[in-house]
Amino acid sequence: MSELTKVLTESELLHNLGKLREGKDSGYSAFYSSQLGGIIKEDSLMVIPFDDHMVHRGHGIFDTAAIANGKVYDLDAHLDRFIISAKNSKLLLPFPKEQMKKIILDTTAISNRRDGSIRYWISSGTGNLGLIPPEDAKPAFFVMIFGGLDYPERYYNEGMKVITTSYPIKPALYAVTKSTNYLPNTLMQLEAKEKGFDNGIFVDSYGNVGEGSNMNTAFVSQDDKLKHPKFDNILSGCTAKRILELAESLIGKGIIKDVNICDISVEEARGSKEMMFIGSSIGVAPIVEWDNKKIGNGKPGPIVFELKKLLSDDIINSKDRLIEVQYT
Ligand SMILES: Cc1ncc(COP(=O)(O)O)c(C=O)c1O
């Protein structure tokens, strides 16, 4: 007869939580939970109750901003998008924007991280396992300071290879809302990996290019225009939007002819000189092959390089998009 499944004591539970992280550097430097009422530095205790609706129903939203050289980049743009995601998801804000901003900056300061990522979530709260939490449930706010996603250097030096995913693109409302339902994005990424590619591209029902798993995509046309899909059916990428603004300076220098936000058919996109991914985790990365066909000459191109430089410069020197973290 097999033994009964163990019932854990409180101390065994704490011990086992610690064991889950043992010998691993999670890179999780600080975590804020409104449910627990403060910041936690011990990574094994950065937990959310199981009956939180973000856990068992996916009723939550998130966003991510970058920390570079001890400063937070473009937090307002990310928080504004976060608030739109909350509204689209019928999630109440746990705190006003300025207070969420303060908690984010305080958690960053406590983390001591000078470079990395800040991810933050709103969930509808705890209290039952139904679709909707009880009426008195409080929306919760969580902030995690961590090392950020790691991409291979090869992506930047040699360029990425992508496939058109077989998974359907999200309907517009779900694509523009950064909810914790990333199943299509995850399936696309898994499919690409299984088939030996770096990532996938969603295509809409009209045959227009959408986006990647957690990044936007843009193109340089044969007539040297920087082209980005309209943001109606894809996530309104803060990085892509900023790059499209910064790229205006390349028109004056004669490096590109124009910046267009428009529908881009797959056929047109395949004939581009350059293709790229853009996002706050990947930055700007060239795509050199799509469905085993070369983009341009199959090598990272000069415009991607220029855009990467513009973004790196903005992350370090921007006059109005950096917030100095008050480390103690
Ligand atoms: C689906 C999707 N598209 C695009 C992006 C790029 O957005 P951002 O530049 O704000 O990181 C992300 C990342 O957040 C994403 O998850």
d(CA 214, CA 185): 7
Distance, in Å, from the CA atom of 186 to the CA atom of 188, rounded to the nearest integer, reads 5
Question: 234 and 139 in one domain?
Answer: no
Catalytic residue among 170, 178, 227, 308: 178
Residue 129 and residue 170 share a domain: no
Say yes or no: 222 and 280 in one domain: yes
CATH code for the domain in which residue 212 is found: 3.20.10.10
Same-domain check for residues 71 and 168: no
pLDDT in tens, the chain (328 residues): 678 999 999 999 999 999 999 999 999 999 999 999 999 999 999 999 999 999 999 999 999 999 999 999 999 999 999 999 999 999 999 999 999 999 999 999 999 999 999 999 999 999 999 999 999 999 999 999 999 999 999 999 999 999 999 999 999 999 999 999 999 999 999 999 999 999 999 999 999 999 999 999 999 999 999 999 999 999 999 999 999 999 999 999 999 999 999 999 999 999 999 999 999 999 999 999 999 999 999 999 999 999 999 999 999 999 999 999 999 8
Strands 258-261 and 225-228: parallel
Pair of tokens at residue 325: 């973290």
Question: DSSP per residue over 97-138, as a string?
Answer: HHHHHHHHHHHHHHHT-SSEEEEEEEE---S-SSSS--TTPP
In a domain, 327, yes or no: no
Q: Which of 67, 216, 228 to mutate to test the pocket of ligand 1 (most atoms within 8 A of CB)?
A: 216
pLDDT computed for residue 272 by the predictor: 98
326 falls within a domain: no
Q: What is the DSSP string of 176-203?
A: HS-BS--HHHHHHHHHHHHTT-SEEE-B
Q: How far away, in angstroms, is 319 Cα from ligand 1 center?
A: 23
Query: Which among 146, 175, 208 is the end of a domain?
Result: 146
DSSP 42: -
Domain that holds residue 211: 153-316
The answer to whether residue 178 is catalytic is yes
Same domain, 101 and 61: yes
Final residue before a domain boundary, out of 146, 164, 179: 146
Distance 187 CA to ligand 1 centre (A): 16
- On whether residue 105 sits in a domain, the answer given is yes
Place of tokens 């001591």: 112
Instruction: Tell me, in angstroms, the distance from the centre of ligand 1 to residue 279's CA.
Output: 5
Task: Judge whether 2 lies within some domain.
Answer: no
- pLDDT for position 1: 66
Ligand 1: residue of 83, 236, 244, 280 to mutate (most ligand atoms within 8 A of CB) is: 280
Q: Is the dihedral of CA 279, 281, 286, 287 positive or negative?
A: negative
| Cβ pair 175, 210 in contact under 8 A | yes
Residue 283, domain member (yes or no):
yes
Least Cα distance to 290 among 230, 217, 186, 234 occurs for 217
The whole-angstrom separation of Cα 189 and Cα 200 is 6
Q: How many residues does the chain have?
A: 328
Report the pocket of ligand 1 as residue ranges, CB < 6 Å.
Answer: 64, 185, 211, 214-216, 235, 237-240, 279-280
Q: Are residues 170 and 295 in the same domain?
A: yes
87 and 170 in a single domain? The answer is no
Domain of 110, CATH number, reads 3.30.470.10
The number of distinct structural domains making up the chain is 2
pTM: predicted TM-score of the whole model, two decimal places: 0.96
Select from 129, 146, 163 the last residue of a domain. 146
Residue 189 Cα to ligand 1 midpoint, Å, equals: 14
Residues 264 and 299 in one domain: yes
**Measured from the CA of 77, which atom of ligand 1 is nearest?**
10
Q: Are residues 140 and 78 in the same domain?
A: yes
Residue 324 covered by a domain: no
Alpha carbon nearest to ligand 1 atom 15, residue: 214
